[in-house]
Structure 1
């Protein structure tokens, strides 16, 4: 089934969000001072790349060639954790921004799921949304375990 114009727009919007997440997570992996956080951000970037590839496949399967300004860029090279002090950014702030981003992305997928006509597209988007919620949980747990997100 061909994508509706609405589905095409929603998938392209989410593709933009995925590329932005990839960039953020790769940057944050290079900037984080905590080695566990560096690995977590790297893992999240790789998962977001899988989502981007799934979305690209949806578009290409409908003969749509996505034009994306975020797709190509030069990833950070090496450890950039020293830059944190210069920018006044902490690992806690990196996590807070990442969690806020995941909340937004999950909400965006919710809209796409609810406005998709094709049940196969909807199921793929639901799967990605569930994984985005799991990313948010990973970030929340990292913050909570370090005392940076208090629930009491």
Structure 2
């Protein structure tokens, strides 16, 4: 599939966002106090990696070499929950930041969907956007279940 310049830029922007999410979720998994949240963040990082792989495949399909400086990263090894305590981060703050990130990423995909001319590209981006919305729902549900997101 040949990408327009606009589509290439949109895909590259979303790839950057995916790399940010991967890093953030791996770090948050290491920093979270709650074991369930550690797993939630680990699972989300893996799902974001699949999105990054899809976007890289879209670029490669148009013979665009991904030279992204954010693509390589050494994930944290071990438990850094003591670091988050020392820095004053709580699990509630980690979840809130992750939810804000997902809102931003979903919005970015919305723009990419609306500005893509190619039907196949648009469908792939819509699929990823739906999954980003599902990630936000997971984070929202975790916050709400702990009383950290009030609806009234």
Q: Same fold (TM over 0.5)?
A: yes
Q: State how far apart, in whole Å, the 2-side matches of 1:110 and 1:73 are.
A: 27
Tell me, which stretches of 5 or more residues in structure 2 are unaligned?
none
Q: State how far apart, in whole Å, the 2-side matches of 1:144 and 1:55 are.
A: 32
Q: Which residue of 2 aligns with 1:151?
A: 151
Q: How many residues align?
A: 152
Q: State how far apart, in whole Å, the 1-side matches of 2:23 and 2:80 are.
A: 14
TM (norm. structure 1) is 0.99
Q: Which residue of 2 aligns with 1:30?
A: 30
Tell me, which stretches of 5 or more residues in structure 1 are unaligned?
none
The Cα shift of 1:85 comes to: 1.6
The Cα shift of 1:55 comes to: 0.2
The Cα shift of 1:115 comes to: 0.2
Q: Which residue of 2 aligns with 1:100?
A: 100
Q: Which residue of 2 aligns with 1:134?
A: 134
Per-residue displacement from partner, 1:41-88 (whole Å, max 9, x unpaired)?
Answer: 000000000000000000000000111111111110101000112111
What do you get for the CA RMSD once the two structures are aligned? 0.5
Q: Which residue of 2 aligns with 1:76?
A: 76
Which segments of structure 1 move beyond 3 Å, counting only runs of 4 or more? Answer: none
Q: State how far apart, in whole Å, the 1-side matches of 2:38 and 2:2 are.
A: 40
